[in-house]
Amino acid sequence: MGILTRLKSFLFPDSAPAVIGLYGPPNAGKTTLANCIATDWADVTVGEASGVPHETQRAQRAEGIEIDHEEGSVTVSVVDTPGVATEVDHAAFFDHGLDDEAAQARARGATRGIGESMRTLREEVGGVVYVLDATQDPRAQVNDMLLGIVENQGLPVVLVANKVDHADADAEAVADAFPRHDVVPVSGLTGENTDALYAALAKRFG
């Protein structure tokens, strides 16, 4: 667990919710999935999703979400983190209609966001939902540094193969790429198979 999470758990063992960070590459659907979870259980949203990479540049959260599933119950604070990429090329934003100045600003914000994601991982979260886009190569989406921090801190992980509502989604490829983890195929957009996700969250983080 992160330093702050361990401290809160020690001081408030019965009341501190599990702080769950949603991590993954840009445009894997983290914000959409975070909104799906928060809306289903607390009728709130976490942030605004966008098709432009690195729209989320600061961690945003919904506190005290109570998930009550037949597999168990857990109260969590869901933290939607900026997408983590190995590099940020401002020219990639030209494809999304940004001019050079806006693309440069977006790239700088994305770099700061990646730093914040890593800080949040080290200091705040007590568990990770690693969100991957099931329509893309799963191995190419995983940041080894981030995964190393997760494993070194012994954080519980739920690995999500998102966007299964797309015809070219391949959740089995995600499962094959990460055989040590249970993979939950879902669509944060349509809510497909979220019952299995909530069961996994209740069991893993409860």
The pLDDT assigned to 16 comes to 62
At 62-112, the pLDDT tens digits run: 999 999 999 889 999 999 998 888 778 888 888 888 899 998 998 898 888
Q: Which residue has the tokens 């989320």?
A: 56
Q: Could you tell me the fold of the domain covering 3-205?
A: Rossmann fold (3.40.50)
Q: Is the pTM of this model over 0.95?
A: no
173-185 as b/e, with b when 16 or more CB fall inside 10 Å? Answer: bbbebbeeeebbb
* 160 DSSP β-pair partners: 131, 184
Mean pLDDT, the chain, rounded, equals 87
Rounded to whole angstroms, what are the CA distances from 168 to 50, 141, 175, 176, 201? 20, 16, 16, 16, 26
**pLDDT higher for 116 or 190?**
190
At 33-55, the pLDDT tens digits run: 999 999 999 999 999 888 877 87
How many residues are there in the chain? 206
Half-sphere exposure of 107 (CA within 13 A, CB side): 17
